A and B are shown apart, each in its own frame.
Chain A
């Protein structure tokens, strides 16, 4: 039986030190919480079929870490408004469809794409192979087997071909560049051209752990050449 005939329980606590553990199980729960104190630590764990609106309004001199972990079939609008002198905001989103609206008003902001972020974190990978005195059909390549538990993302490649003799600079210097995974053989990049160049991949080449990637450049000109292939990306 509650404090009222409709089974409503009224909790009203006044004291200097209060420790309050709440465990509520019911079909329909309404729980407005109003806390005013010198120091507050609140941990909330909610498991329900449907969660209505959750409004959190924090006003304090300093706020520690705030961790929000939401797993649901669908989520309405998640509005976060932060006003502070310094803020670090780590957001991880996994969803089939994401709409992300960000309104930032700050003196300095660092926003990183994943390639830039992984480089900042020291996860970048850079590969290079070069070979001299390659006649028609001669090649050089790099090969790398992705370690257990990691995935390699290749985001860019560059390539170059030079004649070994100065007298051959007036020749066409054709090459063939390939980037592929071994076993099974998945071919991702085939470029034919002359001289060299570089491309940034709009979609990274993804090599899972236990698989090897090769980047190869082949001399397709009729003079002896030095060939170089490079690739870069990150591994996490």
Chain B
């Protein structure tokens, strides 16, 4: 439900819509600086009988091995 609320608040920077053969739409919302993506499926989007079918939050944090490499690179920079 959080994703749908974000849509109605305009609380996102990027929106992707993929229409499905059954007429529903999969919506993916992301916001700058947030380590998560809201992905949900809606039937009859913006209609009186709108129905949220699926709702998930996908974490998009930087992989730990990338974070470790960045940390190492920064430490290397300080040492000169």
Contacts and interface: CB of A to CB of B under 8 A. Distances in A.
A143 B13 contact: no
Interface string B4-22: 0001111011111111000
Contact of A131 (B19, B32, B46): B19
A145 B13 contact: no
Given A145-B46, A212-B46, A140 B19 contact: yes
B32 to A, nearest CB: 5
B13 A126 contact: yes
Given A122-B32, A143-B45, A147-B8, A129 B18 contact: yes
Nearest to A152: B10
Interface in A92-124: 122, 124
Contacts of B45: 143
B33 interface: yes
A128 B32 CA distance: 16
Given A122-B32, A150-B10, A212-B46, A144 B15 contact: yes
A125 B31 CA distance: 9
B13 A129 contact: no
A145 B10 CA distance: 9
B10 A235 contact: yes
Contacts, number: 50
Contacts of B9: 147
Interface residues of A, number: 20
Interface residues of B, number: 17
A127 interface: yes
A150 B32 CA distance: 19
Contact of B19 (A125, A129, A144, A212): A129
A140 B46 CA distance: 17
Contact of A142 (B10, B15, B32, B33): B15
A212 B15 CA distance: 14
A133 to B, nearest CB: 10
Contacts of A127: 14-17
B69 to A, nearest CB: 28
Given A143-B45, A147-B8, A125 B17 contact: no
A177 to B, nearest CB: 16
Contacts of A144: 7, 15
Interface string B63-74: 000000000000
B3 to A, nearest CB: 14
Q: Which of A129, A140, A141 has the most CB of B within 10 A?
A: A129
A130 interface: yes
A142 B46 contact: no
A126 B19 contact: no
Across chains A and B, which 7 residue pairs bring their CB atoms closest together, nearest first? Answer: A147-B10, A126-B14, A129-B17, A142-B17, A128-B16, A127-B15, A122-B32
Interface of A: 122, 124-131, 140-147, 150, 212, 235
5 contacts: A129-B18, A131-B18, A143-B46, A145-B8, A147-B9
